[in-house]
Amino acid sequence: MAETTGLVQRLTVGSSVSCVWIGPNPNNTTLLVVSDNGMAADVAFAASLVQTLASAATNYRSVAAIHGNNSSTITALRVDPV
Amino acid sequence: MNNGKPDGADTHRGELAEALSGVAESLSGSPRLTGGQIVVRQIGEHPATFVISEVDGTLSVADTQGMVDDADARVEILGDGQVLAAILRGDQDARDAFLAGGIRVRGDLRYFSDLAVAARILPTPL
């Protein structure tokens, strides 16, 4: 598993897929996505991820997004204490 | 090589290199180019690293044999060579391929988006 840390520089929320740019500054970010498989539990989890990312973005909190080594899909998210 | 035929490594490396050269040629002279290297890493069984550099408005593609300083990359793209080549040729939709998994993009995403739109890899900016 890989971990991308930084600020949420941009968050685009879509109906089925949300994209997020995470990195230390706007010119140095990693493109990651939040998606779900349509199942109720997965949809709820994806919504929770998006809400957490949005909160981190508005509060300038650093996040650590966990994803596969060769994948851009976020599987877990960590918000570290200030 | 195997019986005079290129093995998987040579085929995939050549396919991606050819696709990158095509895109580099189409972007050369574009006002969107503002410097910096674009590093494309072919991952998987036969890894390879290509660097797209700009010199006087002309883009060139170099196979670095894996020897490239990550710090020099303004944009870095990682993925399966066949998938990346298909995207660059226009045979596969970039967004669909990205969402299907196996591709990572990092760096100056706004610059990447501008170039991808200019190269008609993306229909709209990220």
**pLDDT number for residue B110:** 96
- Cα of B4 to nearest chain A Cα, Å: 32
Q: What is the pLDDT of residues A14-40, one digit of tens each?
A: 988 999 999 999 999 999 999 998 899
Chain B CB within 8 Å of residue A66 CB: no
**pLDDT number for residue B66:** 64
Mean pLDDT of chain A: 94
Chain B interface, mutation test: which of A72, A73, A74, A75, most B Cβ atoms within 10 Å? A72
Chain A residues with CB under 8 Å of B79 CB are 70
ipTM given for this complex: 0.88
Strand partners, B54: B59
Mean pLDDT of chain B: 86
A53-70 mean pLDDT? 95
- Indicate yes or no: CB of A68 within 8 angstroms of CB of B101: yes
